[in-house]
Amino acid sequence: MNSEIFGVIFMFMATVVLAIPFGKYIAKVYAGDKTILDPVFNPIEKFFFRVSGINGTKEMNWKQSMVALLTINLVWFLLAMLILLNQGWLPLNPDHNPSQTPDLAFNTAVSFLVNCNLQDYSGETGATYFSQLFCFMFLHFVSAATGMAAAAILFNAMRERTTDQLGNFYNYFIKSLTRILLPLSVVVAIIFMLNGMPMTFEGKDTIQTMQGDTVQVSRGPVAAMIPIKHLGTNGGGWFGANSAHPFENPNYLTNMVEMIAQFLIPLAMVFALGFYLKRKKLAWMIFGVMTTGFLCLVIPNMIMEQHGNPEIARMGIDMGSGAMEGKEIRFGTPASAYWSILTTVISTGSVNSMHDSFMPLSGMNQLLAMMVNAFYGGCGVGILNFYIFIIIAVFISGLMVGRTPEFLGKKIEAREMKIAVMVTLLSALLIKGGTALACYLFHRDPSLPWLNNTGFHGFTEMLYQFTSCNANNGSGFEGLGDNTPFWNISTAFVLILGRYLPIIGPIAIAGILANKKYIPESAGTLKTDTLTFGIMIFAVIIILTALSYFPALALGPIAEYFSM
Amino acid sequence: MKSNILPAIKLTFLCILFFVVAYTFVVWSIGQVVAPNNGKGETVSYINSKDNLKYGFVNIGQSFTHDNYFWSRPSAVGYNAAGSGGSNKGPTNTDYLKSVQQTLDTFLVHNPGIKKSQVPVDMITASGSGLDPDISPKAAMIQVARIAKVRNISEEKLIVLVNQHTENPLLGVFGPPKVNVLKLNIALDNLK
């Protein structure tokens, strides 16, 4: 048992130790300083820009950046739809899987485009090798780079100066791909292949087991996709069981690498902010708030899962290994519980155990992690979400102490606050509105084949689905029968709104602030890199997110807990 | 918007060439050298119950239900790796709790002499993938008496075999110990 706890502590420490120098590297990449991979990738980037007709050095204002971002995202969406609707006859389909239905293709294309990777299909039967590589893996790379480019624009806007020129979106986008995501993916892929992850274009194998049964074994070029699935906090896996599948996560070492990989960039982004702005104390304050929130969620989960299901304990068996339903022996309960919170605080949504079978309050913590969505948060977008909370906290504490609300030398006024509040309230509207609609439809026709569990847990399945979509997370209470037109279409709209407004909102605020007059710090300035301010942000997060969802949580996981 | 469309399409095309085609080719080429079985998945051979020489995948669990083999964990997909997944049953689902009780009862019937309190919870709950290749060392040990009886082998010999096949935590300090059921059962067949 101790070895399992050690494993988790080691994973966390290792990520922090790696993230600090890596954050420094990311800051250098976005600042345009010389980095180690320049000789390899500079010529390739120049070629990319020349052929595409893009001037990578021309600075853009925040609106131009957002238009560029949305345009290229639209191109990817159309491409993804085209591939998914035609995958049946496209090449690289050794298992002869059919094309996706229009509503499923719509949901899948959107969910991979927005870095969510909700999967209403199952990888073994619902996608071809061509779709997995040219649609899913491609979007893994570029959707992660989109979020990172947005974060780079934010960094640029937070500097101490007055300007509307905030770097070039295409430049940040390509740099994120070539300098950060691609090199790491190759390294991680090699580790995976050494540990037995398949990388083959051969189709399903048919084998005879020792007992004489004939079964099939799905395979594929898995080892190319899984590194970027985690590094880009995408989470859309090759197989239906995601990283619980022994081919997608063969042993404890690969499990460690997958967890470190998904955690690395969100964490490094926080330190990168500190290095980029030369405000290390601010970065440590943000890290402190995020880590406190993360630990508040992950420690209870590990304890509850280790304790196991009391209903099963009553059968009088040996509960030593904890709540093992939906968990794998090679990971054990602590590493599965740790993963379940890590994948929900950052927006990965890959799973190495089935969240539907977690204890009720563990499920609640997974939900809370996604509702906040800023304790680390996704690749690039996490820091954008957190920025919104900073703005609100600055405004509220400014009013409380009677000082002008200023952040990094820029006055925060009504317009910025309106945007910040709208982005925050939007989540509550999408999650609770969506769940309410689903509940209404289910109430009207209880014969709908949606829920795998009845009662409170069934309600949580629906709440989880919308929460996961709004957070662009992609994990699920997978018992939910979600490949139906209602779920495919309703969640796709939540996905779109839950992705682009929380990117445009913070960038708009940052763009407006960057254009304002810079006011040097004085004795009257509210300090934002202190412990007090950290506590203030934490309180704002709790009030705005956790409390506004309390009624919904009370109907689902909390009610289930008390019914045990 | 208009001025962005053409550059966006061209950039997308180049990104596919570079981050999908070239990247996948590089990873695949490396895999041909470093991955076990050229990246097709590590296999192991055995003589199966129909006396044929066959092979299976080391990482993909198989269904073992006969009394003369170490059993694997319950599976929501019946260990058919054409698909994968867990039961997704919630912890308070009454039908689910009944089925767990049934699994426990069946296990106890096939393993007389084993007390309920000795059965580890992982032996009567389904894994997340439905393809879990491992069982816990405890789960292997409580099956020793049954197999010893069916196969007419001494329990001591089987305990040694289980210990030999128990894989310790990574570097001795990280993660849980485990036993690969397929490898253990192949070794069991080879004991004679």
Among residues B33, B67, B186, B127, the alpha carbon closest in space to that of A246 is found at: B127
Kindly state whether residues B54 and B132 are assigned to the same domain. yes
Kindly state whether residues B78 and B29 are assigned to the same domain. no
Kindly state whether residues B11 and B105 are assigned to the same domain. no
pLDDT range class, residue A55, cuts 50, 70, 90: very high
* Per-residue pLDDT at A80: 96
Q: What is the CA radius of gyration of chain B?
A: 23
* Per-residue pLDDT at A240: 92
Residue of B nearest to A68 (CA): B4
Residues spanned by the domain of B29: 1-34
Kindly state whether residues B29 and B97 are assigned to the same domain. no
Q: Which residues of A touch B118 (CB under 8 A)?
A: 318
- Assess contact for B43 and B55: CB atoms under 8 A: yes
Highest mean pLDDT among A53-57, A263-267, A471-475: A263-267
Mean pLDDT across the stretch A432-449? 92
Q: Which residue has the higher pLDDT, A520 or A84?
A: A84
Residue A2 CB contacts under 8 Å (≥ 6 apart), including other chains:
none
Kindly state whether residues B28 and B69 are assigned to the same domain. no
Task: Measure the CA–CA gap between A432 and A429, rounded to whole angstroms.
Answer: 6
Domains identified in chain B, total number? 2
Would you call B175 and A356 a contact, using CB atoms and an 8 Å cutoff?
no
Count CA atoms within 13 Å of residue A480 on its CB side.
30
Q: Within a domain: residue B152?
A: yes
Q: Within a domain: residue B153?
A: yes
Look up the pTM and report it: 0.95
Mean pLDDT across the stretch B94-99? 95
pLDDT tens digits along A300-322: 999 999 999 999 999 999 999 99
Residue A86 CB contacts under 8 Å (≥ 6 apart), including other chains:
A99
Q: Which residues of A touch B70 (CB under 8 A)?
A: none
Task: Measure the CA–CA gap between A531 and A550, rounded to whole angstroms.
Answer: 27
Q: Within a domain: residue B39?
A: no
- H or E stretch at A439: helix A414-444
Count CA atoms within 13 Å of residue A64 on its CB side.
12
Beta bridge partners of B45: B55
Mean pLDDT across the stretch B58-65? 95
Would you call A329 and B130 a contact, using CB atoms and an 8 Å cutoff?
no
| Optimal mutation site among B5, B79, B121, interface A, most CBs of chain A within 10 A | B121
pLDDT tens digits along A167-198: 999 999 999 999 999 999 999 999 999 999 99
Cross-chain CB nearest to A216 (options B19, B80, B101): B80
Mean pLDDT across the stretch B75-104? 94
Task: Measure the CA–CA gap between A518 and A160, rounded to whole angstroms.
Answer: 7
Residue A61 phi, psi (nearest 5)? -85, 175
Angle at A314 between CA A311 and CA A320, to 5 degrees: 90
Separation in Å, CA A226 to CA A93, A247, B185: 19, 10, 31
Task: Measure the CA–CA gap between A124 and A222, rounded to whole angstroms.
Answer: 12
Count CA atoms within 13 Å of residue A203 on its CB side.
12
* Per-residue pLDDT at A1: 63
Would you call B15 and A177 a contact, using CB atoms and an 8 Å cutoff?
yes
Q: Which residues of A touch B132 (CB under 8 A)?
A: 246, 328-330
Task: Please tell me the distance in Å from B156's CA to the nearest CA on chain A.
Answer: 23
Q: Which residues of A touch B180 (CB under 8 A)?
A: none
Residue A257 CB contacts under 8 Å (≥ 6 apart), including other chains:
A188, A191, A192
ipTM above 0.90, yes or no: yes
Q: Which residues of B touch A209 (CB under 8 A)?
A: 48, 54, 56, 62-63, 79
Residue B81 phi, psi (nearest 5)? -80, 15
pLDDT range class, residue A160, cuts 50, 70, 90: confident
- pLDDT at residue A521 above 90? no
Residue of B nearest to A44 (CA): B18
- pLDDT at residue A296 above 70? yes
Would you call A185 and B23 a contact, using CB atoms and an 8 Å cutoff?
yes
Alpha helices in A377-413 (DSSP H): 381-401
Q: Is B25 at the interface with chain A, CB within 8 A?
A: no
What count of other Cβ atoms lies within 10 Å of the Cβ of residue A449? 7
Kindly state whether residues B110 and B157 are assigned to the same domain. yes
Kindly state whether residues B98 and B12 are assigned to the same domain. no
Q: Is B79 at the interface with chain A, CB within 8 A?
A: yes
Among residues A403, A427, A443, A475, the alpha carbon closest in space to that of A234 is found at: A475
| Residue A378 structure tokens | 């996704």
Would you call A312 and B125 a contact, using CB atoms and an 8 Å cutoff?
yes
Q: Is B60 at the interface with chain A, CB within 8 A?
A: yes
pLDDT tens digits along A366-413: 999 999 999 998 888 999 999 999 999 999 998 888 888 889 989 999
Cross-chain CB nearest to A246 (options B9, B60, B185): B60
Cross-chain CB nearest to A6 (options B73, B173, B177): B173
Domains identified in chain A, total number? 1
* Per-residue pLDDT at A524: 77
Angle at B123 between CA B117 and CA B128, to 5 degrees: 140
pLDDT tens digits along A8-17: 999 999 999 9
Q: Within a domain: residue B40?
A: no
- Assess contact for A148 and A379: CB atoms under 8 A: yes
Would you call A325 and B57 a contact, using CB atoms and an 8 Å cutoff?
no
* Per-residue pLDDT at B48: 87
- Assess contact for B30 and B148: CB atoms under 8 A: no
Task: Please tell me the distance in Å from B154's CA to the nearest CA on chain A.
Answer: 23
Mean pLDDT across the stretch B38-64? 92
Q: Which residues of A touch B134 (CB under 8 A)?
A: 328-330
Residues spanned by the domain of A284: 3-563
Residue of B nearest to A130 (CA): B20
| Percent share of chain A, pLDDT over 70 | 100
- Assess contact for A293 and A345: CB atoms under 8 A: yes
Task: Please tell me the distance in Å from B25's CA to the nearest CA on chain A.
Answer: 9
Among residues A333, A346, A131, A330, the alpha carbon closest in space to that of A260 is found at: A346
Beta bridge partners of B46: B54
Q: Within a domain: residue B132?
A: yes
Residue of B nearest to A320 (CA): B120
Separation in Å, CA B56 to CA A207, A250, B129: 6, 15, 17
- Assess contact for A176 and A185: CB atoms under 8 A: no
Residue B61 phi, psi (nearest 5)? -65, 155
pLDDT range class, residue A365, cuts 50, 70, 90: very high
Q: What is the mean pLDDT of chain A?
A: 93
* Per-residue pLDDT at A46: 94
Would you call A324 and B104 a contact, using CB atoms and an 8 Å cutoff?
no
- Assess contact for A224 and A132: CB atoms under 8 A: no
Q: Is B107 at the interface with chain A, CB within 8 A?
A: no
Kindly state whether residues B10 and B88 are assigned to the same domain. no
* Per-residue pLDDT at B1: 62
Task: Please tell me the distance in Å from B81's CA to the nearest CA on chain A.
Answer: 4
* Per-residue pLDDT at A523: 79
Kindly state whether residues B19 and B55 are assigned to the same domain. no
Q: Which residues of B touch A256 (CB under 8 A)?
A: 170, 174
Which amino acid appears at position B192 of this protein? K
Residue of A nearest to B101 (CA): A315
Q: Which residues of A touch B91 (CB under 8 A)?
A: 309, 311, 323, 325, 357-360, 457, 560, 564
Cross-chain CB nearest to B174 (options A3, A125, A312): A3
Would you call B35 and A198 a contact, using CB atoms and an 8 Å cutoff?
yes
Q: Is B181 at the interface with chain A, CB within 8 A?
A: no
Would you call A253 and B170 a contact, using CB atoms and an 8 Å cutoff?
yes
| Helix (H/G/I), strand (E/B), else coil: B44 | strand
* Per-residue pLDDT at A262: 95
| Optimal mutation site among B11, B114, B119, interface A, most CBs of chain A within 10 A | B11
What count of other Cβ atoms lies within 10 Å of the Cβ of residue B151? 17
Kindly state whether residues B24 and B81 are assigned to the same domain. no
Q: Which residues of B touch A124 (CB under 8 A)?
A: 82-84
Mean pLDDT across the stretch B142-146? 96
- Assess contact for A382 and A347: CB atoms under 8 A: yes
Mean pLDDT across the stretch A546-561? 92
Q: Which residues of A touch B36 (CB under 8 A)?
A: 196
- Assess contact for B41 and A196: CB atoms under 8 A: yes
Length reported for chain B: 192
